[in-house]
Amino acid sequence: MFKRYDQNQLMLIPPSYDELVPRNHPVRVVNEVIERIDIGELEASYKGGGTSSYHPRMLTKVVVYGYIRNIYSSRKLEHAVNENVHFMWLARGAKPDHNTIADFRRGTQRSSEEDLQPGGDAAGRSGVAERGST
């Protein structure tokens, strides 16, 4: 009559995050693209000391995928890494809280804004912007 259902039945081998995310899912594209980005400067900006930090590459993946899914709130992103298998897959089970996510975004936003200003690092290195040019 009904398919077997026993919520108390333990799984001998639970599925991995990788098995739960289809090979053609967009979250894998986000993962692949961000894996290829050089984040050396971002990594170097971490001062060290105190407790260990979540890896900035993982946080970048979570934030970018959140934007793609129209999730902008750090509290909603925290919720997603705890309950959504695609975010869990990106974070590999890490569970950054909303303060960590918000602090990360604030820190990367400041450095991005500085880089985009005329004479800023990224603009200056690329030769796109020079002081006093319009």
Is residue 6 assigned to a domain?
no
Is residue 3 assigned to a domain?
no
DSSP string of 7-38? TTPPPSSPPPHHHHS-TT-HHHHHHHHHHHS-
Domain range for 29: 20-35+54-123
Is residue 43 assigned to a domain?
no
In which residue are the tokens 């880089």 written?
A: 115
10-residue averages of pLDDT along the chain (134 residues): 84 84 96 94 80 92 97 98 97 95 84 49 41 38
Is residue 131 assigned to a domain?
no
Instruction: Supply the pLDDT for residue 111.
Output: 56
Instruction: Supply the pLDDT for residue 119.
Output: 47
Instruction: Supply the pLDDT for residue 109.
Output: 65
Euclidean distance between CA atoms 117 and 34, whole angstroms: 24
Instruction: Supply the pLDDT for residue 124.
Output: 43
Number of domains in the chain: 1
Instruction: Supply the pLDDT for residue 114.
Output: 54
Task: Give CA angle at 45 (41, 46), nearest 5°.
Answer: 130
Euclidean distance between CA atoms 87 and 81, whole angstroms: 5
Instruction: Supply the pLDDT for residue 110.
Output: 59
Is residue 26 assigned to a domain?
yes
The residues near 89 (Cβ < 8 Å, ≥ 6 apart) are: 17, 18, 20, 21, 27, 31
Is residue 129 assigned to a domain?
no
Instruction: Supply the pLDDT for residue 96.
Output: 97
Is residue 106 assigned to a domain?
yes
